[in-house]
Amino acid sequence: MSLMDMYVHRDTPIHRLDPRVKIILAVFLTIFCFFLSNILLLFGLFLLLQLLILSTGVSIKRYSSSLWLVGRFALIFVILWPFFDKTGETVLLDLSIYKVTLESLLRSLSLALRILVMASGWFLLLYSTTQSRLVRGLVKLGMPYDLGLSLSIALRYIPHFIETMDMIKDAQVSRGYEVDSGGPWRRVRNFIPVLIPTFVFALRTSEGISASLVSRGYGASPVRTYHRDIRVRHTDAALITLIVVSVPSAIILDLMNLISI
């Protein structure tokens, strides 16, 4: 499974959207998730995003393993939450230091959903947008070209780094090295044989990328021309308006407690 590039080669309505629509959606969802806590709304949004993501034609196998990378964090939150939040009336489980109440469970679930919704917005963008359109969109939204390019490359490489780190850990364990033993400080130090190759891998990768960019004429001319420029169509404009209007109003409604469970 190559995670180097998340883009799914298809031609779906989501693919055809102006990249700016999807960028704005991802950014707004990220902001939205900081404010919104209504679990029903989050859940509905999550389901809607899953439908949209699957409509990009990404294979369920590939998508579920990407989602699981994020899902792991969400799950850890839900599991650890009762250690820190013991408030609430309806007690579901009480082991003194680990007390689960209905209210705290809902709070942790809403937190987990926020993480998943946030990630889903970015998945939707990355699955359905080629690198060149992504950069083009970012630049048109006002980002400097170099930064836009670096960001889009970085986003695409994150899963690859995680995968590589797992492989490096396997290689060192196979040489008789114990990574997961000892107290917390030991464990941090134990990680050095994994971190150094990961770091070197990152350097070599970025060296490789920049060499291949330069060899294809990156930075040769101060003024860039674009092979295929992006243009906002009516649907795109309508969607941008919808996102820009609906997301903040949902937040306001939520803050005013107008939609409550």
Partner 1 sequence: MNPPPIADLTDVSFTYEDGTRALDGVSLRIKSGERIGLIGENGAGKSTLCKHLNGLFHPAKGKVLIDGEDVAKSKASHLARTVGYLFQNPDHQIFKSTVYDEVAFGPKNIGLRDNEVADRVERYLELTGLSDLAKSPPLMLSFGLRRMVTIASVLSMEQRLIILDEPTAWLDYGQAVLAKEAIRGRLASGAAMILVTHDLQLVAEMADRVVIMSGGRVVADGDAKKILSDPDILMKYGLDPPPLTKLANELLSEEAASEIFAVADFINAVKKKKWKASK
Interface residues with partner 1 (CB under 8 A) are: 61-62, 64-65, 68, 164, 167-168, 170-179, 192-193, 196-197, 200-201, 204
Whole-number minimum distance, CB 62 to partner 1, in Å? 8
Q: Which of 151/209 has CB closer to partner 1? A: 209
Q: Which of 187/204 has CB closer to partner 1? A: 204
Whole-number minimum distance, CB 175 to partner 1, in Å? 4
Nearest CA-CA partner of 114 in 52, 45, 48: 45
Whole-number minimum distance, CB 196 to partner 1, in Å? 4
Whole-number minimum distance, CB 212 to partner 1, in Å? 17
Q: Which of 88/197 has CB closer to partner 1? A: 197
Largest Cα span, the chain: 66
Q: Which of 192/214 has CB closer to partner 1? A: 192
Whole-number minimum distance, CB 182 to partner 1, in Å? 13
Q: Which of 195/258 has CB closer to partner 1? A: 195
Name the strand (E) or helix (H) holding 185: helix 184-190
CA trace torsion 7, 9, 10, 13 (10° rounding): 30
Q: Which of 61/231 has CB closer to partner 1? A: 61
Q: Which of 65/210 has CB closer to partner 1? A: 65
Whole-number minimum distance, CB 211 to partner 1, in Å? 15
Name the strand (E) or helix (H) holding 245: helix 234-255
DSSP 60-119: HHHHHHHHHHHHHHHHHHHHHHHHH----SSEEEEETTEEEEHHHHHHHHHHHHHHHHHH
Nearest CA-CA partner of 81 in 42, 118, 41, 109: 109
**How far is 251 from 64, CA to CA, in rounded Å?**
29
Whole-number minimum distance, CB 169 to partner 1, in Å? 9
Q: For residue 98, what are the contacts with CB-CB under 8 A and spacing of at least 6?
A: 82, 83
Supply angle C-alpha 32, 34, 39, rounded to 5.
75
